[in-house]
């Protein structure tokens, strides 16, 4: 494990109330202190039930005190998706199954005056994730990572056969993934009202729009808007909004760096 950590450019420790029942917080802190002393780039990935969860208030405050604001934190919410679907009955399901930002999910079933689904770009369609069997998917949606077969448009390769440059090239050049990052699955599929955001993506069977100059312009504009929001904007959109600014801790340029 130490060798794997040493080989990584960045190491993130995941903490939540359930993991702390098995691995004490002080043990995680001890490892992070040792890595920080060696100059490793670090972060914490924290998960709670929502903005009012006392666990999140406690753990974020303790991390800030313990590490003097030198380690950023990405704070998320437990939502009924993947393994948490059966274990969180009190959580309100979102149309996007909790894997898209809440504002987009709330509006996922709306249509414009022309009867066309709204454009809700998915930034997560650029998040290569290695699954349990080595399959590399284009996003970290739990239903995509855990289930086989992986939808063809979300499969980027296999860790045993494809190197990073190949995976990166496929992620950047796939017409469907580019369209998902520009328009989102609802617009791309012409989804009807009430259709789930991520469910629509997983079942997507459409020909991506041609990469015309107009399409390239729109793609660039969407990317520019997301870059303008920086890491804080991304964390507020996909994580737990009140804690979004914690991703900028410990690095003077992190607020503007994705």
Residue in the structure block whose two tokens are 């440059």: 165
Domain extents for the chain? 1-78+234-258, 94-209
Backbone phi and psi for residue 77, each to the nearest 5 degrees, phi listed first: -115, 145
Question: Can you tell me the distance from the alpha carbon of 55 to that of 150, in angstroms, rounded to the nearest whole number?
Answer: 35
Per the confidence metrics, is the pTM higher than 0.75? no
Question: Can you tell me the distance from the alpha carbon of 99 to that of 15, in angstroms, rounded to the nearest whole number?
Answer: 19
User: Residue 60 has which token pair?
Assistant: 């974020």
pLDDT on residue 255? 44
Backbone phi and psi for residue 214, each to the nearest 5 degrees, phi listed first: -65, -40
The sheet with strand 10-15 has its strands ordered as 10-15, 41-48, 73-77
H or E segment to which residue 135 belongs: strand 135-137
pLDDT on residue 78? 83
**pLDDT per residue as tens, the chain (258 positions):** 889 999 999 999 999 999 999 999 999 999 999 999 999 999 999 999 999 999 999 999 999 999 999 999 999 988 766 555 555 444 433 333 333 333 333 333 333 445 566 788 998 999 899 999 999 999 999 889 999 999 999 999 999 999 999 999 999 999 999 999 998 999 888 877 667 889 999 999 888 888 888 888 888 988 888 888 777 878 777 888 899 999 988 865 544 443
Residue in the structure block whose two tokens are 């689904």: 117
Question: Can you tell me the distance from the alpha carbon of 148 to that of 125, in angstroms, rounded to the nearest whole number?
Answer: 18
């Amino acid at each position: 494990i130490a060798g794997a950590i040493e080989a990584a450019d960045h190491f993130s420790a995941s903490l939540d109330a359930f993991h702390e029942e098995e691995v004490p917080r002080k043990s995680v802190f001890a490892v992070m202190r040792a890595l920080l002393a060696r100059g490793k780039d670090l972060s914490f990935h924290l998960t709670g039930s929502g903005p009012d969860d006392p666990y999140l208030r406690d753990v974020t405050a303790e991390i800030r005190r313990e590490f003097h604001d030198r380690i950023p934190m990405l704070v998320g919410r437990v939502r009924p998706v993947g393994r948490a679907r059966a274990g969180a009955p009190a959580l309100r399901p979102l149309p996007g199954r909790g894997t898209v930002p809440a504002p987009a999910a709330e509006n996922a079933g709306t249509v414009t005056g022309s009867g066309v689904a709204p454009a809700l770009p998915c930034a997560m369609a650029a998040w290569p994730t290695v699954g349990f069997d080595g399959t590399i998917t284009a996003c970290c949606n739990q239903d995509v990572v855990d289930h086989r077969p992986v939808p063809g448009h979300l499969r980027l390769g296999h860790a045993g056969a494809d190197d990073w440059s190949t995976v990166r090239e496929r992620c950047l050049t796939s017409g469907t993934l580019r369209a998902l990052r520009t328009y989102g699955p609802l617009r791309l599929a012409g989804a009807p009202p009430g259709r789930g955001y991520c469910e629509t993506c997983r079942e997507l069977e459409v020909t991506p729009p041609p990469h015309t100059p107009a399409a390239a312009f729109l793609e660039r504009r969407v990317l520019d808007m997301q870059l303008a929001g920086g890491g804080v904007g991304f964390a507020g959109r996909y994580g737990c909004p009140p804690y979004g600014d914690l991703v900028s801790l410990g690095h003077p340029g992190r607020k503007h760096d994705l």
